[in-house]
Amino acid sequence: MKNVTQEKILYLAKYNGGFNIISREYSGNLAKLIDSLLEFDFIKWETNELWYEYAGQKWESDYDNAIHSYTITKAGEVRLAIMRCAYTYKNHKGEEKHIRRNEELLLLMEAAKVTMHDLFHHPRWYENLTKAEYKALRYIDEQNNTPVVVDDVCDGELTIKNVFESTSTESITDISVQMALKAMELFKTQYEGHSAEEVEREFITRVQIALFQSKK
């Protein structure tokens, strides 16, 4: 493989159903990259009988012709997806391609039982992250953890917008209050014909009841 990178190795392992290397080709940068991927369980390998014969007999011909087969693991699919998300974040941010790859990554993470916390805190993951990959993951994490609330109510239709678009502060306390106010606007749609004071009292009463029940 020319101009080999970990991304190319993982891509080949995933979309080609795996790949084979003759033992004598396992050297230099290629061997270094494969060893690193094996170390973090991003790929796995199998070999044929010649390798074991070489291990026992030390015949050079057995070593030269032994074939190693490599396939990608679920963790490896996550690693590859991170690399691809970094590319689209840099070159296609906000476009359909970027959104699609981000969604694919989250699905692969779920299948591999990998969390965002793992990616940022477990050595297996953060030690491999480039600066571009880190930024791409932070963007995904922020998008998924940004609260979404009802922004306005008109003619019976609800328009959903990000609460940060309608507030001028990043204070969690202030944002929480704004979210409560937006929730009350939604609550009012179920009490047409009642005064604002009546609706507010009913809303607060129900919140207090729910809060009390949550403490049981």
Q: What are phi and psi of 67, to 5 degrees?
A: -110, 130
* DSSP label at residue 103: H
Give the C-alpha distances (Å, rounded to integers) separating 17 from 9, 12, 14: 12, 7, 5
Q: Where are the domains of the chain?
A: 6-72, 76-145, 148-214
Residue-wise pLDDT for 91-135, tens only, equals: 999 899 999 999 999 999 999 999 999 998 898 998 899 999 999
d(CA 126, CA 113): 16
Classify 129 as helix, strand or coil. coil
Digit-coded pLDDT (tens) for 146-202: 544 444 444 443 343 444 454 444 455 666 677 777 777 777 777 777 788 887 888
Of the chain, the end-to-end C-alpha distance in Å amounts to 63
DSSP string, 166-192: S-S---HHHHHHHHHHHHHHHHHTT-T
The answer to whether 41 and 26 are in contact (CB under 8 A) is no
